[in-house]
Structure 1
Amino acid sequence: MEDGSEGQTLQGVRKAFKIVRHIKETGPTTVTGLADALDLPKSTAHIHLKTMAEAGYLYKDDGTYRLSLHFLSHGTVVRREFEIYQVAKGEINSLAEETGEVASIGVEEGGKRVLLYKSEGGDAVYDNSHTGEFTEMHWTSLGKALLAHMPRERVEAIVDEHGLPRATEHTLTEPEALYDELERIREQGYALEDEEHWENIRAVSVPVLSEQGIIGAISLSGPKARFSDSLIEERILDPLYDKANVIELRLKHY
């Protein structure tokens, strides 16, 4: 009897998180909309939405349900647990201000790149990425900088689990091409993203390392028309390296 109850509880939890993911990805929903989208009976959809709203994790407004601001509260608390966020936030703000571009911090969790924090300078072009965003590692310069400094077996495990799905026509989708790219990143010291996640956006990332290995990565991104190879060499790399060094030193004594 206990086993059956546990199974039912787990299914209920899975369904609740499936609903959360659906609303996050598609926006506010109704009972009918959720039932149609997830192939649920309307009565089941109604029970789940009503229960989650009563618990405070959905907000109901005129028959429509959206995620509540409890998720913002939880995300803020979780982010504070990362030492790199505590140490690097000020440096990222400074980097964005100095360059005028979008500066970001990325970490890996569950084989995905997580955008831990971003700051937009005066000339920044919005790139659709938001704080807390999970993406495939190989789509972004942050993710590739992280992969390049992981053990080969960890990289292969991530590729085996998540594959190499395509985001744009420029995305690397073959394992050997990715491994060659990671070798280049290790040799040159930085990772380049060239329209692999968003069209017309380029980004450059460098790793943040400790004696134990890779902690995270920081990046600058902007429009491809502005982020030429020459500009990257002349204006982007040195500030990135400088901030990464400062962050590494501060983490060492945190």
Structure 2
Amino acid sequence: MNHRTTDGKKRIGATETSFTIIELLRDHPGATITTLAEETGRSKSTVHNHLQTLRGMGYVVHEDGSYHLGLGFLDLGNAARERWNLYEIAKSEMDDLVSAVGERAQLMVEEQGKGVYIYQTKADAGIQTDSHIGATVALHATAVGKSYLAHLPPEELEPLQKQIDLDGRTDRTLTDWETLETEFETVREQGYAFNDEERLVGMQAVGAPILNDEGEALAAISVSGPTTRMSGEWYRQEVPEMVTQAARVISIRATYS
């Protein structure tokens, strides 16, 4: 069965079912056919057929009556990330940044109106949340996203505004473009953005853009940590200095590599 998206484009039902199963196995490793059938709303026989196809292609494995993602996805993931040479350019600088700050850092690029983390690293004391390499995040509710959006030229920002759902992740999330655009002005002036518990309660972050030689955003990086440690002058002044310096170095390397 074929479906149509809200913009009228066709979607292939069988393909959608396979990827729904894949995403469920990502979120629930070891799921059974019964669980997958309940979650997808498909029959057990339909789910079984999709799983057998994915097993034959090396993307799903069957162990003790349950299913897991196969290692075939590693090759696909690496190929997707290699499209962004920023990963190799930024890695060492971000590792140094984490050593200096003692928290967690991430490198984000934008794709189809969402932020996608293509690299993440953390210190031993860094807090692991639901974010990980490959995770998508809301651009309007993150320091990386806001620093990226603030440095886009109008002809690139305007189409993105139509794709971004300004939903409230917490009661501190900015959910209208007028307020965001006012904040973008501040971000451009100071060179970095804050995330004051706008995505997750108890977590704050500082983000800065990776810019090309015309001052336009290519990507963004951020450092995030718990409010108990990311506070005061350390959070408001010292961490931003380190994050923006790292972003400048990565920007130079990206421009001239």
TM-score, normalized by length of structure 2?
0.88
Q: Unaligned stretches of 5+ in structure 2?
A: 1-9
Question: Which one of the candidate residues 164, 167, 176 is aligned to 1:165?
Answer: 167
Letter of the 2:242 partner, please give it: P
Determine the C-alpha separation between the residues in 1 that align with 2:71 and 2:112: 24
Structure 2 CA distance, aligned partners of 1:9 and 1:181?
37
The residue correspondences of 1:62-81 to structure 2 (distance < 5 A) are: 62-81=64-83
Deviation sequence 1:194-231 (CA, Å, 0-9, x none): 11111111000111100352111111111112212411
Distance across 1 between alignment mates of 2:209 and 2:71: 32
- Asked if structure 1 preserves the Cα contact closer than 8 Å seen for 2:140 and 2:146, the reply is yes
Q: Secondary structure at the match of 1:182?
A: helix
Which structure shows the bigger proportion of residues in helix conformation? 1
Q: Secondary structure at the match of 2:12?
A: helix
Using the aligned pairs only, state the percent identity: 35
Partner of 1:236 in structure 2? 239
Specify which of 244, 247, 254 is matched with residue 251 of structure 1. Answer: 254
Measured after TM superposition, the shift of residue 140 of structure 1 is: 0.9
Match of 2:48 in 1: 46
Q: CA deviation at 1:122?
A: 4.1
Mean Cα displacement is larger for which, 228-237 or 241-250?
Answer: 228-237
Contact 1:113-1:136 at 8 Å conserved across structures: yes
Q: Secondary structure at the match of 2:211?
A: strand
Distance 1:233 1:38 in 2: 45
1:21 counterpart residue number = 23
Is the partner of 1:13 in helix, strand or coil?
A: helix
- What TM-score do the two structures reach when normalised by structure 1? 0.89
1:92 is displaced (CA, Å) by 0.4
Q: 1:121 aligns with which of 120, 123, 126?
A: 123
Structure 1 partner of 2:104: 102
Q: Which residue of 227, 230, 233 maps to 2:230?
A: 227
Q: How does 1:82-93 map to 2 (within 5 A)?
A: 82-93=84-95
**Structure 1: runs of 5+ lacking an equivalent:** 1-7
Tell me how far 1:56 sits from its aligned partner. 0.9
Separation in structure 1 between the aligned mates of residue 138 and residue 235 of structure 2, nearest angstrom:
24
Number of residue-to-residue matches in the alignment: 247
Q: Is the 8 A contact 1:84 1:215 kept in 2?
A: no
CA contact under 8 A between 1:127 and 1:198: conserved in structure 2?
Answer: no
Shift of the alpha carbon at 1:153?
Answer: 4.8
Residue pair 2:112, 2:163 contacting (<8 A) in 1 also:
no
